[in-house]
Chain A
Amino acid sequence: MNQPVAVLDADVLVPVLVCDLLLSMFDAELFQPAVSPTILAEVERTLIADFPRLDPDGLRRRVDAMARALALHVHDVTQDNDAALAGINRKDRHVAALALTQHTDLVVTNDRRLRREINALSLPLRALSADEFVLRLVLDTRTQVDDVIDELVTKRQRRPVTRAALLDQLAVALPRAIAEMRSAD
C-alpha cells in the first residue's frame, strides 16, 4: 500500500486530541504530512483565540513543538497556482496550493466549504475531514493505529487516561473512525 501524503489544515491541528493522534500517526509513519508556516501561524492564532484564559506563551510553545515535530514537513508554498486553483476561495487557497507544491494526494480539513471546493477541482487531489482520514488509516493500518492509541495512553502521566476514556473523547471529533476501531475490539 502506498503511504498517503496529506496536507494538514490548521483546523485539524487545533483540537488537542486530534492533533496528538495525527502527529503520533505521522511518527508511526502511517502517512507523510505537509504543513506550511502559514498553517502553523493560523493554528497559533486559533489556539490563543479559543483558550483566552490560558497563557499565550504556553500555547505558542505548543505550536513551536508542533513545528519541531513536523520539522522536515514544513514547506513554503513556492508555486503560483492561482490559475489551477481559481475555484478555491482566496482565504484558503494557500492550503490547496501547498498540496500542489508538495504533490500530495490529500488535504485533511474540517472546513466543509474548502473540501467541497477542492473535490470539485479537476486535479488528482482529494479533501477529507479528519474523521474520514483517520477512518482510512484505521481501515488500512488498524494494528498500527491501535498501537498509536496505546502509546498516547501511556504518555499521559500527569493526567492519566484509560484507553476507553481516550476513545470516548476522540469519538466526539472522529465518530466514524473510532466506531470502526471499536468494532474490532
Chain B
Amino acid sequence: MSKVLDDRALANNALLALRRRPSLFTLPDGTSVRIPKAAVDGLIELLTAAAEGDEATIVRSPRELTTQQAAKILNVSRPTVVKLIDDGVLPARKVGSHRRVPLTDLLAFRQDVVAKRRAALDELTTDAEELGLYD
C-alpha cells in the first residue's frame, strides 16, 4: 500500500476512535491528558482532511491584535488605529505600554465600516445617475 493510502487508512481509524469526541486521552506511559474541545475539533478536522486525501493547514487566530495588525485588517494606517482607540471608537486594553485590540471587536468594527462605505459608494452612483453626471 502506498504511503498516501496508508495515511488515509490511519486517519480513518483515528476518526473512528474519536467519533464521540473524547476529551480525555491516555498516553503510552499511562498518563491521562485532558484536551480542550476546540483542540479535539481541530484534530478531527485535520484527520478528516487526511482521510479524504486533502491537505489541511492550521491558521492561528489570536484573540487580540497589535495596532499594526489591526491597521492591516482595517486597511488604515497605524496612527489611525491609535486614534480610534484613543477616541473610544475601537475597544482595546493596555499590555504594558502597548495596546491590544480584541479580534471580535475589530472584525465587528470592520464589518460596520465596510457596510457604511459600500452604502456611500452606492449612493455616489445613484446620485450621479440622477444628477446626469454620466451623460
A interface residues (Cβ-Cβ under 8 A, vs B): 3, 5, 16-17, 19-20, 23-24, 27, 29, 32, 51, 54-55, 58-59, 61-62, 65-66, 68-69, 71-73, 75, 102-103, 152, 155-159, 161
Contact = CB atoms under 8 A, between A and B. Distances in A.
Contacts of A51: 131, 133
Given A72-B74, A158-B126, A54 B131 contact: yes
B125 A20 contact: yes
B125 to A, nearest CB: 5
Contact of A32 (B76, B124, B125): B76
Contacts of A24: 121
B20 interface: no
B116 A68 contact: yes
Contacts of A16: 128, 133-134
Given A62-B128, A66-B124, A73-B76, A156 B134 contact: yes
Contacts of B3: none
A65 B120 contact: yes
A71 B116 contact: yes
Q: Give the secondary structure class of A's interface.
A: helix
A72 B130 contact: no
Interface string B64-98: 00000000001111011000100000000000000
Nearest to A78: B79
23 contacts: A16-B134, A17-B134, A20-B124, A20-B128, A24-B121, A32-B77, A54-B131, A54-B133, A55-B131, A58-B127, A62-B128, A62-B131, A68-B120, A69-B117, A71-B113, A71-B116, A72-B74, A102-B79, A155-B122, A156-B125, A156-B129, A156-B134, A158-B126
Contacts of A159: 129, 134-135
B40 to A, nearest CB: 36
Contact of A29 (B75, B116, B123, B130): B75
B113 to A, nearest CB: 7
B132 interface: yes
A104 to B, nearest CB: 9
A51 B130 CA distance: 14
A103 B74 CA distance: 17
A158 B124 contact: no
Nearest to A58: B131
